[in-house]
Amino acid sequence: LPRMQRGLPQKRNIPNVKKVIAVSSAKGGVGKSTIAVNLALSFACSGYRAGILDTDIFGPSIPTLLNLSGEPRLSSNNQLIPLSNYGLKSMSMGYLIPEEAPVAWRGLMVMKALQQLLHEVDWGGLDVLVLDMPPGTGDVQLTITQQVNVDGAIIITTPSDLSLKDAVKGVSLFRKTSIPLLGLISNMSSFICPSCSTPHPIFGSQKHISDMCHQQDLKLLGEIPLDARICEMADAGRPTVVGDPDGARARVFEEIAREV
Ligand code: ADP
């Protein structure tokens, strides 16, 4: 049955964007925003017209990660003009509300803000837009997956059992809403000891990840170690792909970007 007849809203395209890739995680703090921004920067560095949309209304990270702040200007037809750094366009709730303001918004206002972020940004022609999704499978995620044409989704998880259990919920949300799953990225997959270079699987064995990929029929797109430099560069607003472009760490992100 067509969507309308099943009582589902018609999915809409994000205007002026060729391809939309959602980066999602079940839990917060697993590195979703860090990976989303590094992937978007990899696209931009490869010559694609790329953007990132931070849909995490309660905890926007993109302004810090891209070292951007300030209110976006409005275009002549009242659309938000993205802020750019390192050749990457971005839009985030963080630009629209003061950092210290408590975002204790009622559901309706959150949804209104989300509609503005999804449909009222003047991207000015993009090859690829990365959607940094909020963690979990709540209202915002449902709205995006049901209302927006998303070309593919990437799931971020650590190898810990807790993170993986919830990641399965994310997988089923995308499957239910007919969004193709591009694959899974295992973040903080191991800790490489700086003195002896031995990898330590502190969040659990990598076998958990391969079992999950097998059970859920998901491709493993890459494994990113827990690495203090990734965190330092992200916190400094100069993520790995632009902070250390020739290093091995940046190559991992670039290879994943090429694969999707
Ligand atoms: P999420 O978007 O899932 O909430 P973030 O991307 O904000 O997570 O990451 C949470 C914290 O973990 C940040 O301080 C980030 O710099 C750090 N981090 C993410 N991935 C790594 C990694 N592979 N190695 C070290 N630190 C990381």
Cβ–Cβ < 8 Å for 67, 238: yes
Asked whether the predicted pLDDT for residue 178 surpasses 90, the reply is: yes
Ligand 1 binding pocket includes 170 (Cβ within 6 Å): no
Ligand 1 binding pocket includes 34 (Cβ within 6 Å): yes
- Which pLDDT band holds residue 100 (cuts at 50, 70, 90)? low
- Which pLDDT band holds residue 69 (cuts at 50, 70, 90)? very high
Tokens 């990365």 locate to 130
The pTM (predicted TM-score) of the whole model is 0.93
Counting residues of the chain whose pLDDT is more than 70, the rounded percentage is 93
Q: Which atom in ligand 1 lies closest to the alpha carbon of residue 27?
A: 3
ipTM passes above 0.95: yes
pLDDT score, position 8: 65
What distance in angstroms lies between residue 68's CA and the mean position of ligand 1's atoms? 18
Torsion angle of the four alpha carbons 155, 111, 70, 250, in this order, in degrees rounded to the nearest 10: 10
Q: What is the pLDDT of residues 6-24, one digit of tens each?
A: 666 689 999 999 999 999 9
What distance in angstroms lies between residue 56's CA and the mean position of ligand 1's atoms? 15
What superfamily does domain 4-259 belong to in CATH?
Answer: P-loop containing nucleotide triphosphate hydrolases (3.40.50.300)
What secondary structure does DSSP assign to 68-135, as a single string? Answer: --SPPPB-TTSPBPPEEETTEEEEEHHHHS-TTS-----HHHHHHHHHHHHHSB---SEEEEEEEPPS
pLDDT: which is higher, 95 or 199:
95
pLDDT score, position 226: 92
Closest alpha carbon to 141 in 259, 39, 58, 220 = 58
For residue 31, which phi and psi values (nearest 5 degrees)? 100, 15
What distance in angstroms lies between residue 232's CA and the mean position of ligand 1's atoms? 10
pLDDT score, position 194: 75
Q: What is the pLDDT of residues 126-162, one digit of tens each?
A: 999 999 999 888 888 999 999 999 999 999 999 988 8
Ligand 1 binding pocket includes 231 (Cβ within 6 Å): yes
What distance in angstroms lies between residue 12's CA and the mean position of ligand 1's atoms? 31
Tokens 């999804």 locate to 118
Non-local (6+) Cβ contacts of 120 within 8 A are 78, 79, 80
Mean pLDDT score across all residues of the chain: 90
pLDDT score, position 53: 98
What distance in angstroms lies between residue 128's CA and the mean position of ligand 1's atoms? 23
Ligand 1 binding pocket includes 56 (Cβ within 6 Å): no
CA–CA distance, 56 with 70 (Å, rounded to integer): 18
Counting residues of the chain whose pLDDT is more than 90, the rounded percentage is 68
* Least reliable range by pLDDT among 40-54, 82-96, 181-195: 181-195
Residue ranges covered by each domain of the chain: 4-259
Token couple for 184:
């899974």
pLDDT score, position 251: 93
Cβ–Cβ < 8 Å for 174, 184: no
pLDDT score, position 1: 59
